[in-house]
Amino acid sequence: MRRSAVLGGRYVLRSLIGQGGTAEVYCACDRVLEREVAVKLLRQASVEERDRARFADEARLLGRLSHPGLVTVLDAATSDEEPYLVMELVHGPSLADCCRGVALATTRVAAIGAQLAEALRYAHDNGIVHRDVKPANVLLAEDDRALLTDFGIARLLSASTGHTATGTAVGTAAYIAPEQVRGEPVSPATDVYSLGLVLLEALTGERAYDGSPAEAALARLTTPPPMPSTLPAGWRDLLLAMTALDPADRPTTVEAVDSLRRLAAETEPAKPGFTGRTDVGESPATRSTAGSLPGSAVVTAAAGQLRTTGLGAVSRPAGLARRAGLAWRWATAAVLALVLVLGVTLWSNTLSGRPPQRDTPAGVPDRVQKPLQDLHDAVEGDR
């Protein structure tokens, strides 16, 4: 079926400005109010009932939110043959466009981070966890506002049911929190972790976890991201706290806002010493939507111990000690490793276009068969 040029008799589609796995975003003209808007539409080739339900959820979630740090929803049609969401058009690049291979100034990153943390605080206060905080979902407006967008997989904290099965990892591989990898319940601390990785990437121009998706997933279960020794001490302390393995050890969004505002008031620039790479950024997906890309990692881990990598020595500030040790994680390491490596390999195959292996590999223990099949079904269902 052809895409309508005019939606609802009002919104005239112009140019495609972004696209993700299931949706496209167009620059459009509102003929009634004579202004430019952004219109998000589901891809017609992949519209399924679950996609429609998620789309309707996003419209309702954003419709109840009003904050300077969130992209404003202006209109929506979720029951039409062509469901669409009308939002304010943000003139400016995404954070992913700005920090790909480039380290941004510490004061600028602090200002951006404070705005994002404040927007997340507002969302959390309204019972919503974003679950997909990443550079491509941060838009930098011409008036210096940083806006968070794409609540397509957000979850209500009070929801007992949803469109994702319990125990399923949902989010973008490079920024997913450890509890998301394990398929555990999400909380505001989940967004704090992802924001910490986003800010670290903006400061270095590099993703924190490099390597294959399986390596990235396994690494974040046992080791915080490596912190370049060239970062100011205040930044290292804050980012280590935000990316603590235990959600209970992470600061709240209110605490993060206060810390970031203090850092924004400082004038110390980021020191040279790390090299930006251009092969680890994700494709630009501006103005409201982006696809998920596999994460990456070159982190070595030992229980309760951090080790040095090429990015510099990693140290754990005394005041940020974890409330619980990491030893318990190793008790199930073998099962987790098998499920994650095989499951994320399926994810990687899906993204690269290679046909997935639907049969469970021989030799997989019986107790792992169902989690592995659930992970496979989740990956295939989100294509």
Place of tokens 């705005």: 115
Last residue of a domain, one of 329, 357, 373: 329
Strand, coil or helix: 358: coil
- My answer on whether 44 and 122 are in the same domain is no
For helices 253-264 and 233-242, the axis angle rounded to 10 degrees is 160
Q: Is 40 within any annotated ligand binding site?
A: yes
Residue 75 falls in the annotated catalytic set: no
Domain count within the chain: 3
265 and 128 fall within a common domain: yes
User: Tell me, what's the pLDDT at 162?
Assistant: 43
Which pLDDT score, from 0 to 100, does residue 209 have?
Answer: 87
Same domain, 249 and 231: yes
Asked if residue 146 is part of any domain, the answer here is: yes
pTM score, two decimals? 0.68
Shared-domain flag, residues 208 and 343? no
Tokens 């419709």, located at residue: 63
| Residue 315 forms part of a structural domain | yes
Residues of the chain predicted below pLDDT 70: 1-3, 21, 44-48, 80, 152-171, 267-383
In a domain, 1, yes or no: no
Q: What are phi and psi of 252, to 5 degrees?
A: -75, 170
What does the pLDDT read at residue 211? 73
Q: Could you tell me the CATH number of the domain that includes residue 256?
A: 1.10.510.10
Token readout for 346 is: 């399926």
Residue 194, domain member (yes or no): yes
**Residue 54 belongs to some domain of the structure:** yes
Q: Which residues pair with 36 in a beta bridge?
A: 29
Same domain for 242 and 103 = yes
Active-site hit among 132, 210, 237, 382:
132
- Provide the domain limits for residue 121: 95-329
Per-residue confidence (pLDDT) for residue 138, from 0 to 100:
96
